Amino acid sequence: MTAVGPEELRADCSRCVGICCVAPAFAASADFAIDKPAGRPCPNLRPDLRCGIHSELRSRGFPGCTVFDCFGAGQRVTQVTFGGRDWRDNQPTAQAMFDTFTVVRPLHELLWHLTEALTMELPAPLRAALAEALATTDQLAGGDPESLRSLAVDTHRSGVVPLLAQAADHARARGGRPGVDRRGAALLGADLRRVDLRRASLRGAQLVGADLRGVDLTGADLTGADLRGADLRGADLSGGLFVHQSQLDAARGDRATLLPPGRLRPAHWAAPRRARGDSPRFSGRRPGR
């Protein structure tokens, strides 16, 4: 059984060398104010490898940076794979680090989901399969640069994702009959305030700008759901499945939004305010019953 834990799957920029500010390409959009090719440092990256506009990212047009999460891959590549080396040492080192990061990050994302799945009450055979997948994924992520750069991540992922789906489906059924299946659904800007989404499957759903005010998402599978700009004010995500911090960071909410254990309330969320037309949380019961 692998020893990977929550701390290893949480970004620690103090132990990284700003890889996420250099390796990926940015396209000018609502998420990024500029175009930046892969491998070129962001102009906001300071010599000390910290962001020069970190406290102003949203107002300066870089909200995409505020919701990016490497799942701890940055410090693993820096401190473990490359033994503390800096991509600025020389060009071959830089390219090797960037190529390795693009492989380790999705592996760490899988590790986070596998770790989350193992907190659920699951049948012993499924739990054993998830534990084995966790150990294998961690072993792959700990490989040397050459083996990592040649690794077929998509092939490995295709064997892990069905196990995660089984875990989510089992958890959804524990509280009663599974809810609606809207996996992969295009729900951009949809008003979902009166939709019963308890124990629903929203895996990979496009919920950009969706109105989820007051919605009870207990038992709902939110794996990979795009919550950018979604309105979560007053919503109950305390029992949601696979809710990652970056999803919350990308959404809007308030102090009345209920969060899963271990998740932090984003600083940009507003205080609760009932606006005209707001609906009470959907409970599945008619008023007075």
Instruction: State the pLDDT at residue 175.
Output: 72
pLDDT tens digits, 96-151: 999 999 999 999 999 999 999 999 999 999 999 999 999 999 999 999 999 999 99
pLDDT at 4: 73
Place of tokens 């659904």: 185
Per residue in 51-110, pLDDT (tens digit) is 999 989 999 999 999 889 999 999 999 999 999 999 999 999 999 999 999 999 999 999
Asked if pLDDT for residue 289 goes beyond 90, the answer is no
Which sequence spans correspond to the domains of the chain?
6-173, 176-289
pTM for this model (two decimals): 0.88
**Mean pLDDT computed over 224-230:** 96
Does the pLDDT value for residue 168 go beyond 70? Answer: yes
CB burial string 123-143: b at 16+ within 10 A, e below: eeebeebbeebbebbbebbbb
What is the secondary structure of 155-194 as a DSSP string?
Answer: HHHHHHHHHHHHHHHHHHHHTSS---B-TT-B-TT-B-TT
Question: What confidence tens digit (pLDDT) does each residue in 9-49 have?
Answer: 999 999 999 999 999 999 999 899 999 999 999 999 999 99
Task: Tell me the C-alpha to C-alpha distance, in Å, between residue 273 and each of 111, 253, 278, 280.
Answer: 37, 10, 10, 13
Q: How far, in Å, CA of 5 to CA of 60, rounded?
A: 34
* Each residue's pLDDT tens digit, 248-271: 999 999 999 999 999 999 999 975
Average pLDDT of span 279-287: 40
Task: Examine the pLDDT at 171 and tell me if it is beyond 50.
Answer: yes
Q: What is the mean pLDDT of residues 209-227?
A: 97
Residue 284: the pLDDT is 41
pLDDT in tens, 176-208: 889 999 999 999 999 999 999 999 999 999 999
Task: Give me 229's structure tokens.
Answer: 């700009």
Nearest CA to 218 out of 262, 175, 269, 261 is that of 175
CA distance linking residue 89 with residue 139, whole number of Å: 27
pLDDT interval class at 273 (50, 70, 90): low
DSSP code of residue 212: -
Is the domain covering 176-289 a CATH 2.160.20.80 domain?
yes
Q: With 50 as the cut, is the pLDDT of residue 287 above it?
A: no
Q: Residue 286: its pLDDT value, please?
A: 30
β-bridge partners, 36: 26
Identity of the residue numbered 283: S
pLDDT of 3 reads 55
